[in-house]
């Protein structure tokens, strides 16, 4: 039996993970700034998350939300302490794509309208609905026609917001475009977007699957902009490594949803509830959000200073521990060099090296990453000059 590989193999066999590190089958240690596309923000095998999972494993693992269970009630109490203001209702699913799918269904049901607006360079998932609002044509075109009508506007362009009309059900936006190149939204753009959607009675969906749960220096990245979402998705880090996602909404939306409007076999199961409970407790116990803010500032400063002499470096950008080094060339060689030097990273957009660090990254880890990044970029620049 062969595994279908939609992701290109990296050529190493990982057998163990602990905090910010992983080890391959040859015993080599790597600093993991790939972190499973950002999932391992709380570190591999976070102790608090593991304690909750182990305890739940000894009780019950499988149970639909048609039945109540103590761990789910504990999870809801914990979620109350981190949820965005006004988003007092949650539905748990299994992946970020599923959370996005639910928001799109809700937007159409609640508003009675069909059109959705997204942004160029956006990424919201690969299922049919979430793929419809994902910009990259390479992902979309083989599977069209998809959900429609969809309109893509320029990200961070306030003038483009004038194209949003009252026939729109919802606008979906990432506070930082992750897959699109680690591109943070501008303060004035996000405020203007919120104003336009409120004026025209349009739902604002904020996709926090990658940005949320402390990674950017606030629990939710849209809080940097002082705005409120109508619907918000979360995923990746909220389960501490366990596959779980969530859609948050206010009372006035939740009250209009009916039995059968959506469903899930595994969503909100006791194991997932235990993972989320443990993850929230871990987030608060170690002041994770503040650590991400401080360490992110230090890391970005180090990268900026170390890479300023390279002509092929366009920009170092990001927020907290979601950082991108944007090049004027394909970053593939630099990412390979990083891996050869014992540091795992990933690509974003066409030309960006993406670092999605666990929060416990150390000063030494950063220094090693900066040195390896310099080496990778130097090799990339040299290859360009010699070609």
207 labelled binding-site residue: yes
Answer yes or no: are the C-beta atoms of 180 and 138 closer than 8 Å: no
End-to-end CA gap in the chain: 41
Residues 6+ apart with CB under 8 A from 30: 12, 14, 21, 22, 23, 24, 339, 342, 343, 344
155 labelled binding-site residue: no
Helices 47-57 and 270-285, axial angle in degrees (round to 10): 150
210 labelled binding-site residue: yes
Sign of CA dihedral 79, 106, 179, 198: negative
Beta bridge partners of 302: none
- What Rg, from alpha-carbon coordinates, does the chain have? 21
127 labelled binding-site residue: no
Taking the C-alpha atoms of residue 162 and residue 196, their distance in angstroms, rounded to an integer, is 8
Taking the C-alpha atoms of residue 251 and residue 31, their distance in angstroms, rounded to an integer, is 43
216 labelled binding-site residue: no
What region, left, alpha or beta, does residue 36 occupy, with left being phi > 0 and alpha being psi -120 to 50 degrees?
left
Answer yes or no: are the C-beta atoms of 306 and 265 closer than 8 Å: no
Exposed e or buried b for every residue in 221-230, given b needs 16+ CB within 10 A? bbbbbebbbb
| pLDDT values of the chain reduced to their tens digit, one per residue, 387 residues | 999 999 989 999 999 999 999 999 999 999 999 999 999 999 999 999 999 999 999 999 999 999 999 999 999 999 999 999 999 999 999 999 999 999 999 999 999 999 999 999 999 999 999 999 999 999 999 999 999 999 999 999 999 999 999 999 999 999 999 999 999 999 999 999 999 999 999 999 999 999 999 999 999 999 999 999 999 999 999 999 999 999 999 999 999 999 999 999 999 999 999 999 999 999 999 999 999 999 999 999 999 999 999 999 999 999 999 999 999 999 999 999 999 999 999 999 999 999 999 999 999 999 999 999 999 999 999 887 776
Pairing of strands 115-119, 150-153: parallel
Q: Phi/psi of residue 236, each to 5°?
A: 45, -95
Answer yes or no: are the C-beta atoms of 273 and 345 closer than 8 Å: no
**Which pLDDT value is given to residue 79?**
98
Q: Phi/psi of residue 300, each to 5°?
A: -65, -40
Q: What is the pTM of this model?
A: 0.97
264 labelled binding-site residue: yes
261 labelled binding-site residue: no
**Which pLDDT value is given to residue 385?**
72
**Which pLDDT value is given to residue 387?**
65
Tokens of 275: 């993972």
- Which domains are present in the chain? 14-32+288-386 (3.90.1150.10), 47-285 (3.40.640.10)
What region, left, alpha or beta, does residue 24 occupy, with left being phi > 0 and alpha being psi -120 to 50 degrees?
beta
126 labelled binding-site residue: yes
Taking the C-alpha atoms of residue 273 and residue 280, their distance in angstroms, rounded to an integer, is 11
* Residue closest to 119 by CA, chosen among 95, 103, 136: 136
């Amino acid at each position: 039996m062969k595994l279908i590989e939609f992701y290109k193999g990296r050529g190493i066999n990982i057998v163990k993970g602990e905090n910010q590190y992983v080890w391959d089958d040859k015993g080599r240690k790597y600093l993991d700034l790939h972190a499973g596309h950002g999932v391992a923000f709380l570190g591999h095998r976070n102790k608090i998350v593991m304690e909750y999972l182990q305890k739940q494993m000894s009780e019950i693992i499988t149970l639909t939300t048609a039945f109540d269970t103590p761990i789910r009630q504990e999870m809801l109490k914990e979620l109350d302490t981190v949820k965005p203001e006004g988003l007092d209702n949650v539905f748990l699913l299994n992946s970020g794509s599923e959370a996005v799918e639910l928001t799109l269904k809700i937007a159409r049901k609640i508003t009675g309208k069909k059109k959705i607006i997204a942004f160029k360079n956006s990424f919201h998932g690969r299922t049919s609905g979430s793929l419809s609002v994902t910009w990259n044509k390479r992902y979309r075109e083989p599977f069209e026609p998809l959900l429609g009508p969809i309109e893509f506007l320029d990200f961070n362009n306030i003038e483009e917001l004038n194209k949003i009309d009252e026939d729109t059900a919802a606008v979906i936006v990432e506070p930082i475009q992750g897959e699109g190149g680690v591109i943070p939204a501008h303060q004035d753009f996000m405020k203007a977007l919120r104003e336009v959607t409120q004026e025209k009675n349009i739902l604002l969906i904020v996709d926090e699957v990658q940005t949320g749960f402390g990674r950017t220096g606030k629990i939710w990245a849209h809080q940097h902009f002082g705005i409120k979402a109508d619907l918000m998705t979360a995923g990746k880090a909220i389960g501490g490594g366990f596959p779980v996602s969530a859609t948050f909404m206010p009372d006035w939306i939740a009250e209009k949803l009916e039995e059968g409007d959506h469903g899930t076999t595994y969503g909100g199961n006791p194991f997932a509830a235990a993972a989320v409970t443990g993850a929230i407790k871990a987030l608060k116990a170690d002041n994770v959000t503040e650590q991400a803010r401080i360490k992110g500032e230090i890391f970005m400063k180090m990268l900026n200073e170390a890479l300023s002499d390279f002509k092929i470096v366009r920009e170092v950008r990001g927020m907290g521990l979601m950082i991108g080094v944007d090049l004027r060339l394909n970053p593939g060689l630099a990412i390979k060099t990083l891996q050869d030097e014992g540091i795992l990273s990933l690509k974003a957009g066409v030309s960006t090296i993406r670092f999605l660090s666990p929060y416990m990254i150390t000063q030494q880890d950063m220094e090693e990453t900066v040195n390896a990044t310099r080496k990778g970029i130097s090799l990339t620049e040299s290859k360009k000059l010699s070609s």
